[in-house]
């Protein structure tokens, strides 16, 4: 990520009693629950340093950063609840860039208020495309200095943090209400196609392309009274990848690549999946070999990951569940001071520092800056109380995990995973971006080679090894009482008043009949973003009644990523910031695909609006529109083989991702995972009738589809060499989906 993050904390927790005896343990029980985070459109995204443009519409939810303008995918909290009757814990993933002590403390308070005693690990997916403004200020030099965390997270807003904490706590409570007895297994596969080495400065240490390429699936199966697995229940997918597919100029809220992987694997496996982020500090998302970009690239990544996860899921099939399950959760508060990290006075700022000037100017000139040569220049952080950050050990039967409070590089992740070896687990995983955040966690010589990462890592070059040592101590003392992480001082949120709609909500632009592959557009007025983003459901008429369209066998087509929702206010907040009444206009965009079933469809929009002081729900049903077969097959090509056959290829119109100043505006979806979008989807199957002409001689001939050749095969008379012209009249090609060519297609080849 592109920001230093440093917590402000002041209250210390007491040490807990020793863990209860494992002799009292019962069978393992688990459940997964998901709660959508109520993120208002307009709230800025965290992770990139971003500047407002002249046409920024403004928002009551943003301050210094640009306002978001819509939603690609909703943020959510997803909890994996676990218990064996002795230990009660939850792993909660949250669609945000990072985790802070104040967020963690606020979640704990909400669980306590609900009388839910479970321990938990709260982990960020590290998307750079969702809500910011939940990092308490941290200043340079002194309390009046610049708030440096605001450079990547905008200024702190307790109300937005409250919304995140409420969703996380709700997911934990809901999960523990639906426990099932389970057995657990795990397996890993190589997934190098999905990530890439993003830190060239450490190539002299580790070599090029050094990264964690493993995708690990932890599988949970429901079991009968004897512990024998009966059916898959849930899964955890662990992978290392930065959530930066969508650029810093993207104004749509999105869960980015982690969300795409989780959604696609959930669809493919038929069970809810929790994405767990790994050691992604020096790992970026890989580009698509077929050139997919933006939201298409996210869909492609999910498609690739789902196939890999399916392989690992099958290999991870668990055995009979033991009657007494091993489940361990131990938090350790790791003290952070200059002295405990091993710095000498004058070697490093007393309370931490950022912007350390080390290394060379570029990867072509990597320079190691030894601390022994003198004090390194780092900007000091303001004085603050001594505090303890959090690392957490979680062991589920034969799977061990260790959380780290920041962005571990591959090398640090490998060494922390190695500290788990004494536990005897077969699978050892590192959970990055969990419980707290202290920027990038690097080995000393890696840090001292410079680059971006060391400039936003507030405890310098000794932090990575220090956490490795602390993880080693935690494993060795896991059965003993531990110092606990520091809790944060919680600020009571100042809740915004609900903004009025200028009139009763109405439909502005209704849907119309269209072909497969076209964009459905539905516009209506509703309520302000603080009341929630409208929900858009897609329905299809079946036997005279409208029913939910399924995006997968287990998921209805509701909201994103299939339906993008956009928001516009009149007047804008930028133009009239003090206005208390506006026209709140919402646009739903559903991009249909060439394989969508024909028939009548409608969009259903639900939401809330405040009119004349009263908040009321609304529901709109769009016009029942007809989705027809596509006439979008627009390209024809042919080539002659040495055996005399002719291969004829037909393609749909190209659909490369389209942007307007960084905003996705068209061609959101992948039509063909085996074709470049700038070449167009390949027409497959069906039948083709064409006219073949050589000189003045012409003949009508069929061409038959060949799966082996991935083309239509045409057989011409022998002894007919020369320049051939092929013509397919309108509707002369009907592919396996029933789509056709609306215009005449022609091509020429030599035989």
The pLDDT confidence band at residue 317, using thresholds 50, 70 and 90, is: very high
Query: Is 624 in the same domain as 637?
Result: no
Query: Is 366 in the same domain as 387?
Result: yes
The pLDDT confidence band at residue 644, using thresholds 50, 70 and 90, is: confident
**628, 663, 684: which is the final residue of a domain?**
628
Query: Is 388 in the same domain as 528?
Result: no
Spatial separation of the C-alpha atoms in residues 560 and 302, rounded to whole Å? 14
Closest alpha carbon to 566 in 605, 617, 515: 605
DSSP string covering 178-203: T-EEEEEEEEEEE-TTSEEE--GGGH
CA dihedral 456, 462, 463, 466 (to 10 degrees): 180
Is residue 195 included in any domain, yes or no?
yes
Alpha carbon separation from 163 to 89, 106, 170, 608 (Å, rounded): 22, 10, 11, 18
The pLDDT confidence band at residue 161, using thresholds 50, 70 and 90, is: very high
**608, 628, 648: which is the final residue of a domain?**
628
| CATH at 726 | 2.60.40
User: Is residue 121 within 8 Å of residue 435, measured between CB atoms?
Assistant: yes
Spatial separation of the C-alpha atoms in residues 412 and 426, rounded to whole Å? 19
Mean pLDDT value of segment 627-636 = 98
Query: Is 566 in the same domain as 692?
Result: no
What are 507-540's pLDDT values in tens digits? 999 999 999 999 999 999 999 999 999 999 999 9
Query: Is 131 in the same domain as 276?
Result: yes
Tokens of 456: 């936003």
Query: Is 400 in the same domain as 507?
Result: no
Is residue 272 included in any domain, yes or no?
yes
Label each residue of 446-504 as H, E or C. HHCCCCCHHHHCCCHHHHHHHHHHHHHHHHHCCCCCCCCCCECCCCCCCCCCCCEECCC
pLDDT above 60: residue 280:
yes
Residue 376: what pLDDT?
Answer: 81
User: Is residue 186 within 8 Å of residue 316, measured between CB atoms?
Assistant: yes
pLDDT above 70: residue 6:
no
Is residue 7 included in any domain, yes or no?
no
Is residue 495 included in any domain, yes or no?
no
Spatial separation of the C-alpha atoms in residues 360 and 364, rounded to whole Å? 9
User: Residues 549, 553, 556, 561: is their CA dihedral positive or negative?
Assistant: negative
Spatial separation of the C-alpha atoms in residues 44 and 65, rounded to whole Å? 6
Query: Is 666 in the same domain as 621?
Result: no
pTM: 0.96
The number of helices, as runs of H, and strands, as runs of E, in the chain is: 9, 43
Spatial separation of the C-alpha atoms in residues 274 and 91, rounded to whole Å? 9
Tokens of 455: 């400039």
Is residue 2 included in any domain, yes or no?
no
Residue 421: what pLDDT?
Answer: 98
User: Is residue 154 within 8 Å of residue 59, measured between CB atoms?
Assistant: no
Mean pLDDT value of segment 105-128 = 98
Spatial separation of the C-alpha atoms in residues 393 and 405, rounded to whole Å? 13
Query: Is 171 in the same domain as 45?
Result: yes
Residue 180: what pLDDT?
Answer: 98
Task: Give the single-character DSSP code of 751.
Answer: -
Is residue 1 included in any domain, yes or no?
no
| CATH at 546 | 2.60.40.2300
User: Residues 741, 745, 750, 751: is their CA dihedral positive or negative?
Assistant: positive
Residue 361: what pLDDT?
Answer: 74
| Beta strand residue intervals within 623-672, DSSP E | 625-628, 633-640, 645-652, 658-660, 663-666
Please, which residues have CB within 8 angstroms of residue 247's CB and are 6 or more apart in sequence?
662
691 exposure class (CB count in 10 Å sphere: 0-12, 13-18, 19+): middle
Mean pLDDT value of segment 599-620 = 98
Residue 4: what pLDDT?
Answer: 44
Residue 374: what pLDDT?
Answer: 67
The pLDDT confidence band at residue 377, using thresholds 50, 70 and 90, is: confident
- The mean of the pLDDT values for the chain is 95
Query: Is 556 in the same domain as 687?
Result: no
Is residue 54 included in any domain, yes or no?
yes
pLDDT above 80: residue 30:
yes
Residue 3: what pLDDT?
Answer: 47
Quote the domain boundaries for residue 552: 500-628
Tokens of 724: 């051939």
The pLDDT confidence band at residue 11, using thresholds 50, 70 and 90, is: very low
The pLDDT confidence band at residue 297, using thresholds 50, 70 and 90, is: very high
What are 543-592's pLDDT values in tens digits? 999 999 999 999 999 999 999 999 999 999 999 999 999 999 999 999 99
Mean pLDDT value of segment 277-300 = 97
| Beta strand residue intervals within 37-135, DSSP E | 70-71, 76-83, 88-94, 119-124
Length of the chain: 751
Is residue 490 included in any domain, yes or no?
no
Task: Give the single-character DSSP code of 426.
Answer: S
pLDDT above 60: residue 9:
no
What number of other Cβ atoms are within 10 A of residue 289's Cβ? 10
Query: Is 641 in the same domain as 601?
Result: no
With a pLDDT cut of 90, the percent of the chain lying above it is 93
Name 30's bridge partners.
82, 180
With a pLDDT cut of 70, the percent of the chain lying above it is 97
* Number of domains, the chain: 3
**566, 594, 628: which is the final residue of a domain?**
628
What values do phi and psi take at 173, rounded to 5?
Answer: -60, -45
Query: Is 598 in the same domain as 720?
Result: no
335 exposure class (CB count in 10 Å sphere: 0-12, 13-18, 19+): middle
pLDDT above 50: residue 505:
yes
Query: Is 655 in the same domain as 606?
Result: no
User: Is residue 520 within 8 Å of residue 603, measured between CB atoms?
Assistant: yes
Spatial separation of the C-alpha atoms in residues 160 and 147, rounded to whole Å? 18
The pLDDT confidence band at residue 212, using thresholds 50, 70 and 90, is: very high
pLDDT above 80: residue 14:
no
Residue 309: what pLDDT?
Answer: 98
pLDDT above 60: residue 443:
yes
């Amino acid at each position: 990520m592109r920001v230093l993050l440093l917590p402000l904390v002041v209250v210390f927790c007491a040490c807990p009693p020793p863990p209860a005896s494992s002799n009292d343990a019962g069978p393992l029980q688990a459940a997964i629950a998901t709660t959508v985070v109520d993120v208002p459109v307009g709230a800025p995204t965290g992770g990139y340093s971003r500047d407002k443009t002249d046409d920024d519409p403004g928002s009551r939810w943003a301050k210094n950063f640009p306002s978001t303008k819509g939603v690609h995918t909703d943020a959510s909290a997803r909890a994996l609840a676990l218990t064996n009757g002795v230990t009660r814990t939850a792993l909660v993933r949250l669609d945000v860039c990072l985790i802070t002590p104040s967020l963690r403390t606020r979640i704990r308070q909400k669980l306590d208020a609900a009388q839910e005693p479970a321990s938990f690990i709260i982990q960020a997916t590290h998307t750079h495309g969702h809500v910011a403004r939940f990092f308490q200020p941290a200043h340079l030099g002194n309390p009046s200095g610049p708030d440096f965390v605001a450079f990547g997270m905008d200024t702190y807003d307790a109300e937005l943090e409250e919304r995140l904490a409420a969703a996380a706590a709700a997911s934990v409570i809901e999960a523990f209400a639906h426990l099932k007895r389970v057995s657990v297994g795990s397996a890993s596969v190589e997934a190098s196609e999905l990530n890439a080495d993003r830190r060239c400065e450490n190539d002299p240490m580790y070599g090029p392309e050094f990264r964690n390429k493993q995708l690990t699936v932890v599988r949970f199966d429901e079991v009968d009274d004897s512990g024998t697995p009966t059916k898959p229940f849930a899964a955890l997918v662990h992978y290392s990848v930065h959530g930066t597919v969508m650029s810093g100029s993207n104004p749509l809220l999105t869960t980015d690549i982690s969300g795409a992987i989780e959604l696609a694997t959930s669809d493919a496996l038929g069970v809810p999946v929790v994405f767990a982020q790994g050691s992604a500090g020096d790992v970026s998302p890989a580009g698509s070999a077929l050139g997919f970009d933006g939201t298409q690239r996210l869909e492609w990544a999910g498609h690739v990951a789902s196939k890999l996860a399916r392989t690992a899921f099958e290999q991870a099939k668990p055995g009979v569940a033991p009657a007494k399950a091993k489940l361990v959760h131990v938090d350790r508060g790791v003290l952070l001071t200059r002295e405990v990290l091993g710095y000498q006075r004058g070697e490093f700022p007393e309370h931490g520092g950022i912007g350390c000037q080390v290394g060379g100017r570029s990867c072509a000139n990597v320079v190691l800056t030894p601390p022994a040569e003198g004090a390194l220049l780092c900007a000091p952080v303001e004085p603050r109380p001594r505090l303890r950050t959090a690392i957490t050990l979680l062991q589920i039967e034969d799977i061990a995990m260790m959380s780290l409070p920041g962005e571990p590089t591959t090398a640090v992740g490998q060494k922390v995973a190695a500290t788990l070896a004494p536990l005897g687990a077969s699978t050892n995983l590192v959970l990055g971006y969990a419980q707290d955040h202290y920027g990038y966690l690097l080995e000393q010589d890696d840090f001292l080679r410079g680059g971006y990462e060391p400039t936003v890592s507030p405890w310098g070059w000794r932090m990575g090894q220090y956490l490795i040592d602390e993880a080693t101590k935690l494993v060795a003392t896991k059965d003993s009482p531990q110092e606990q992480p520091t809790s944060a001082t919680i600020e009571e949120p100042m809740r915004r008043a609900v903004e009025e709609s200028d009139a009763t909500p109405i439909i502005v632009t209704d849907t119309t009949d269209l072909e497969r592959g076209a964009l459905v557009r539905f516009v209506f007025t509703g309520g302000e973003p603080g009341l929630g983003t409208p929900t858009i459901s897609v329905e299809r008429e079946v036997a005279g009644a409208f029913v939910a369209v399924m995006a997968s066998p287990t998921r209805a087509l509701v909201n994103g990523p299939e339906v993008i929702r956009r928001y516009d206010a009149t007047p804008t907040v930028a133009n009239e910031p003090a206005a208390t009444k506006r026209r709140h206009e919402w646009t739903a965009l559903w991009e249909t695909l060439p394989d969508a079933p024909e028939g009548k469809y409608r969009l259903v929009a639900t939401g809330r609006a405040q009119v004349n002081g009263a908040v009321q729900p609304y529901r709109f049903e769009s016009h029942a529109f007809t989705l027809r077969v596509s006439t979008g097959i627009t390209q024809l090509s042919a080539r002659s083989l040495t055996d005399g056959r002719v291969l004829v290829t037909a393609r749909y119109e190209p659909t490369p991702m389209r942007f307007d100043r960084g905003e996705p505006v068209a061609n959101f979806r992948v039509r063909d995972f085996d074709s470049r979008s700038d070449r167009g989807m390949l027409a497959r199957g069906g039948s083709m009738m064409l006219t073949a002409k050589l000189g003045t001689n012409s003949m009508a001939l069929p061409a038959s589809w060949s799966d082996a050749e991935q083309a239509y095969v045409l057989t011409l008379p022998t002894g007919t060499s020369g320049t051939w012209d092929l013509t397919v009249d309108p509707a002369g090609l009907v592919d396996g989906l029933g789509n056709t060519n609306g215009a005449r297609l022609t091509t020429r080849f030599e035989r």
